[in-house]
């Protein structure tokens, strides 16, 4: 090797330091823009980094740009601007390599209804170049996993929606992809079918597969995801674990039912406000005989508050702690209290 | 489950990918052979019906046009072969529209298979479907009294010509399918293409001079003439006069040349539209 080429290699090494980091990531998106032919700016300056092995949730209201983003990552749409690598491959320049390393389960169920479950899987094995000798075992294993082994030779047209979804998911996984994109995989399923799919996704994630999930069901994201990003109007507005996001929105709500007249309720309210039990930005509201205190310290301080109220001869008839759900996070984001969320993050 | 890093892919090649798609479409045909069988029934039924209804008129017309020693049923054979081929070709578009509808199109695009393999696997399966239909129809037509002077080599030539016409209408069906994206529309379009084109050709009776100009631009004319030349072993070209090749080649060479040219034009358009659909399906 000549000195020149050595020199060049070293030069590249220093300039591509960040690229190297990205190449070890499952997904690395930097300043991604996508403008449709009709001028709609579906994605506006989006950046994302997903580590290998993560169970990543991508949330956002309808039309926020979730599906557009997932289609870019899955090589179905070309970005207008920005750099996108998936499993270390550039989605624009190394399409085939990206395609071979991912599984993609689109929003609409996509199975060939004229073919049986087994034939659908066999086609997928061929399409993803699974070695011939491994195909039968792989298909049997997947049929078992999705509970379709007993109807393996029935045409998919006769399957229920849930069965088709499970088959669809399995066809995206025949090649043990390093990364799977699941675009609203449980929409329209009954709770039982949904739980089964959840269990299945959890198992592949435990086995090391990175999962990129979009969903409208916040309990789904809460139950499955290690980390969430919330997208609105084509860019990320919040990012963190489900727990962090919930904490940022405002912790828990302490709910007290107070016996008898409104003056007692007012007094209870006053005590709750004046005591040093809760942080300064905790809020106290009353509706009828109920006092609601939104605080991050509901669990630690709840019983102390009860003692204080008892000392003032106020009888508490009901006591409950309501946790913040992702719905609250979602509503807060829809409510444009974004600055606050991002502030918390920084 | 093995670890994802292990990499269980053996890779894809053009041949293996084509085979994977070829197998898929063959399976689908075997699972649902109704239209395949109906197309054969319709062709044979047409042969019987037309020769019963038009038999005497046809024989008279043949005599007037100078065809000697040909039964009307033999004269009619190219018509039903073209009809079956065109009808069968439109299934190519219907398969495409169904795949676009069901999401299988997108799902196939997102695999590492090359688009060429995906579409050629499908096309080869559809051409095979046409060949099987033609063999059955030719067999039944022979039983019913049609005769092919050139025997087996003539029959092989006939099938080759039909495949050229089939490929052309497969391209047209895919173009219409991609533009309309609707199965009903495609079915209507197939009728719209099939009957006018058959009647604006020398398929049923010798070509009248009134429609000669239209027939010149009709691919079915060249299919019918080429097949008829292979059946009777003579130059029967209706719209063009070519003399430099001698005998039935005076029909065969220009007819095949024109069909190839039309295939090139419509095939390129279909491939371009399919390529565009594959890369922008997400929109």
Distance from CA of B272 to the nearest CA of A (A): 17
pLDDT digit string, tens, across residues B86-121: 999 999 999 999 999 999 999 999 999 999 999 999
pLDDT greater than 60 at residue B282:
no
Q: Does B106 touch chain A (CB under 8 A)?
A: yes
* B114 and B12 Cβ atoms separated by less than 8 Å: yes
Least confident of A79-93, B13-27, B49-63: B49-63
Grade residue A123 by pLDDT with cuts at 50, 70 and 90: very high
Mean pLDDT over the full length of chain A: 84
Residue A217 CA to residue B132 CA, distance in Å, equals 51
3-state SS assignment for residue B12: coil
pLDDT greater than 90 at residue A248:
no
Least confident of A67-76, A327-336, B142-151: A327-336
CA quadruple A225, A230, A236, A239: dihedral sign: negative
* B195 and B181 Cβ atoms separated by less than 8 Å: no
As given in the structure block, the two tokens for residue B34 are 């109704």
3-state SS assignment for residue B68: coil
Residue B98 CA to residue A112 CA, distance in Å, equals 9
* B34 and B41 Cβ atoms separated by less than 8 Å: no
Higher pLDDT, B56 or A149: A149
Grade residue A110 by pLDDT with cuts at 50, 70 and 90: very high
Q: Which residues of chain A have a CB within 8 Å of the CB of B4?
A: 176-178, 207-209
Query: Could you identify the residue written with the tokens 């079918």?
Result: A193
pLDDT greater than 70 at residue B9:
no
Most confident by average pLDDT, A172-181, A272-281, B5-14, B49-58: A172-181
pLDDT of residue A342: 46
pLDDT of residue B174: 96
> Which of B1, B9, B280 has the CB atom closest to A207's CB atom?
B1
Grade residue B60 by pLDDT with cuts at 50, 70 and 90: confident
Higher pLDDT, A247 or A65: A65
Q: Does A82 touch chain B (CB under 8 A)?
A: no
List the domain boundaries for chain A.
14-245, 251-323
Note the maximum CA span of chain A.
92
What ipTM was predicted for this assembly? Answer: 0.88
Residue B110 CA to residue B112 CA, distance in Å, equals 7
Higher pLDDT, A143 or A11: A143
pLDDT greater than 60 at residue A15:
no
pLDDT of residue B6: 39
pLDDT digit string, tens, across residues A166-202: 999 999 999 999 999 999 888 877 888 788 888 889 9
Which residue of A lies nearest to B113 if distances are taken between CA atoms? Answer: A127
> Which of B10, B23, B109 has the CB atom closest to A76's CB atom?
B109
pLDDT of residue B242: 86
Grade residue B224 by pLDDT with cuts at 50, 70 and 90: very high
3-state secondary structure chain A: CCHHHHHHHHHHHHHCHHHHHHHCCCEEEEEEEEECCCCCEEEEEEEEEECCCCEEEEECCCCCCHHHHHHHHCCCCCCCEEEEEECCEECCCCHHHHHHHEEEECCCCCCCCCCEHHHHHHHHHHHCCCCHHHHHHHHHHHHHHCCCHHHCCCEHHHCCHHHHHHHHHHHCCCCCCCEEEEECCCCCCCHHHHHHHHHHHHHHHHCCCEEEEECCCHHHHHHHCCEEEEEECCEEEEEECHHHHHHHHCCEEEEEEECCCHHHHHHHHHHHHHCCCCCCCCEEEEECCEEEEEECCHHHHHHHHHHHHHHCCCCEEEEEEECCCHHHHHHHHHCCCHHHHHHHHC
Share of chain A above pLDDT 90, in %: 43
pLDDT of residue A9: 42
CA quadruple A62, A84, A27, A108: dihedral sign: positive
Q: What is the mean pLDDT of residues B49-70?
A: 84
Least confident of A268-277, B123-132, B171-180: A268-277
Q: Does B1 touch chain A (CB under 8 A)?
A: yes
Residue B175 CA to residue B170 CA, distance in Å, equals 9
Q: Is residue B7 part of a domain?
A: no
Name the B residues in 7-46 with CB < 8 Å from any A CB.
8-12, 16-17, 19-20, 23-24, 27-28, 31-32
Least confident of A35-39, A274-278, B90-94, B168-172: A274-278
Angle between helices B219-232 and B183-199 (to 10 degrees): 60
Grade residue A251 by pLDDT with cuts at 50, 70 and 90: low
Grade residue A3 by pLDDT with cuts at 50, 70 and 90: very low
Which residue of A lies nearest to B117 if distances are taken between CA atoms? Answer: A127
pLDDT greater than 80 at residue A246:
no
pLDDT of residue A335: 60
**Pairwise CB contact (< 8 Å): A130 & B24:** no
Share of chain B above pLDDT 90, in %: 66
Higher pLDDT, B203 or A282: B203
Grade residue B22 by pLDDT with cuts at 50, 70 and 90: very high
Angle A304-A310-A311 from CA coordinates, rounded to 5°: 90
- How many CB atoms are located within 10 Å of the residue A79 CB? 21
User: Domain containing B207: what range?
Assistant: 14-280
pLDDT of residue B283: 42
pLDDT of residue B77: 94
Residue A24 CA to residue A21 CA, distance in Å, equals 6
As given in the structure block, the two tokens for residue B271 are 């491939």
Residue B8 CA to residue B5 CA, distance in Å, equals 9
pLDDT digit string, tens, across residues B233-249: 888 888 888 888 888 89
CATH fold of A251-323 reads: Alpha-Beta Plaits (3.30.70)
pLDDT digit string, tens, across residues A126-139: 999 999 999 999 99
Q: Which residues of chain A have a CB within 8 Å of the CB of B8?
A: 130-131, 134, 138, 175-176
Radius of gyration of chain B measured on its C-alpha atoms = 21
Residue A298 CA to residue A301 CA, distance in Å, equals 6
Domain count, chain B: 1
Share of chain B above pLDDT 70, in %: 95
Which residue of A lies nearest to B1 if distances are taken between CA atoms? Answer: A207
pLDDT digit string, tens, across residues B32-46: 899 899 999 999 999
**Pairwise CB contact (< 8 Å): A127 & B23:** no
Q: Does B109 touch chain A (CB under 8 A)?
A: yes
**Of B205, B228, B217, B199, which Cα lies nearest the Cα of B261?**
B217
3-state SS assignment for residue B244: coil
**B149-160 burial code (b ≥16 CB/10 A, e <16):** ebeeebbebbbe
Count of alpha carbons within 13 Å of A295, Cβ hemisphere only?
24
Q: Is residue B82 part of a domain?
A: yes
Q: Which residues pair with A90 in a beta bridge?
A: A85
Least confident of A24-33, B205-214, B248-257: B205-214
pLDDT digit string, tens, across residues B159-198: 999 999 999 999 999 999 999 999 999 999 998 889 899 9
As given in the structure block, the two tokens for residue A342 are 């991002």
Least confident of A301-315, A331-345, B222-236: A331-345
Q: What is the mean pLDDT of residues A229-257?
A: 82
**Pairwise CB contact (< 8 Å): B3 & A176:** yes
CATH superfamily of A14-245: P-loop containing nucleotide triphosphate hydrolases (3.40.50.300)
């Amino acid at each position: 090797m000549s000195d020149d080429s050595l020199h060049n290699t070293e030069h590249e090494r220093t300039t591509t330091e960040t690229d190297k980091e990205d190449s070890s990531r499952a997904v690395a998106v930097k300043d991604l823009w996508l403008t449709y032919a009709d001028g709609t700016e579906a994605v506006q300056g989006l950046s994302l980094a997903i580590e290998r092995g993560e169970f990543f949730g991508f949330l956002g209201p309808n039309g926020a740009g979730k599906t557009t983003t997932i289609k870019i990552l899955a090589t179905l749409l070309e970005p207008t601007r920005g750099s996108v690598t998936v499993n270390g491959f550039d989605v624009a320049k190394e399409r085939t390599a990206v395609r071979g390393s991912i599984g993609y389960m689109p929003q609409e169920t996509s199975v060939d209804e004229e073919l049986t479950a087994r034939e659908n899987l066999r086609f997928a094995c061929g399409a993803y170049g699974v070695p011939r000798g491994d195909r039968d075992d792989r298909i049997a294993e997947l049929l078992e996993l999705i509970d379709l082994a007993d109807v393996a030779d029935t045409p998919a047209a006769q399957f229920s929606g849930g069965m088709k979804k499970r088959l669809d998911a399995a066809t995206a996984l025949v090649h043990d992809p390093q990364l799977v994109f699941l675009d609203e995989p449980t929409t329209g399923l009954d709770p039982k079918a949904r739980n089964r799919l959840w269990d299945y996704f959890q198992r592949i994630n435990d086995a090391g597969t990175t999962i990129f999930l979009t969903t409208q069901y916040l309990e789904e994201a809460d139950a499955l995801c290690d980390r969430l990003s919330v997208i609105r109007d084509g860019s990320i507005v919040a990012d963190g674990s489900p727990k962090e996001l919930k904490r940022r929105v405002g912790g828990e709500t302490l709910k007290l039912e107070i016996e008898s007249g409104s003056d007692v309720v007012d007094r209870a309210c006053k005590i709750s406000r004046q005591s040093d039990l809760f942080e300064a930005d905790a809020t106290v509201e009353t509706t009828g005989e109920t006092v609601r205190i939104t605080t991050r310290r509901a669990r630690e301080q709840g019983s102390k508050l009860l003692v204080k109220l008892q000392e003032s001869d106020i009888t508490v008839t009901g006591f409950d702690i309501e946790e913040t759900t992702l719905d609250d996070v979602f509503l807060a984001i829809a409510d444009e209290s974004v600055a606050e969320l991002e502030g918390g993050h920084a | 489950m093995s670890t994802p890093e292990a990499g269980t892919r053996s890779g894809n090649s053009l041949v293996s990918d084509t085979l994977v798609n070829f197998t898929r479409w063959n399976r689908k045909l075997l699972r649902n052979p109704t239209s395949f069988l109906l197309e054969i029934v319709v062709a044979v039924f047409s042969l019987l019906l037309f020769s019963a209804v038009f038999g005497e008129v046809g024989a008279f017309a043949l005599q007037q046009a100078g065809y000697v020693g040909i039964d009307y049923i033999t004269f009619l054979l190219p018509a039903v072969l073209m009809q079956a081929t065109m009808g069968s070709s439109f299934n190519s578009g219907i398969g495409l529209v169904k795949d676009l509808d069901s999401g299988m199109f997108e799902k196939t695009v997102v695999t590492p298979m090359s688009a060429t393999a995906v579409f050629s696997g499908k096309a080869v399966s559809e051409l095979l479907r046409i060949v099987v239909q033609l063999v059955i129809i030719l067999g039944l037509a022979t039983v019913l009294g049609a005769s092919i002077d050139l025997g087996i080599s003539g029959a092989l030539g006939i099938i080759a010509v039909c495949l050229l016409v089939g490929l052309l209408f497969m391209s047209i069906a895919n173009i219409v399918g991609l533009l309309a994206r609707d199965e009903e529309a495609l079915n209507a379009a197939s009728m719209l293409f099939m009957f006018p084109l058959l009647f604006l050709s020398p398929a049923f009776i010798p070509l009248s001079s009134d429609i000669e100009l239209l027939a010149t631009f009709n691919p079915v004319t060249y299919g019918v003439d080429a097949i008829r030349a292979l059946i009777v072993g003579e130059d029967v070209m209706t719209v063009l006069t070519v003399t430099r090749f001698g005998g039935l080649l005076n029909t065969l060479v220009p007819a095949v040349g024109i069909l190839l040219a039309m295939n090139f034009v419509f095939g390129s358009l279909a491939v371009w539209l399919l390529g565009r659909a594959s890369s922008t399906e997400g929109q």
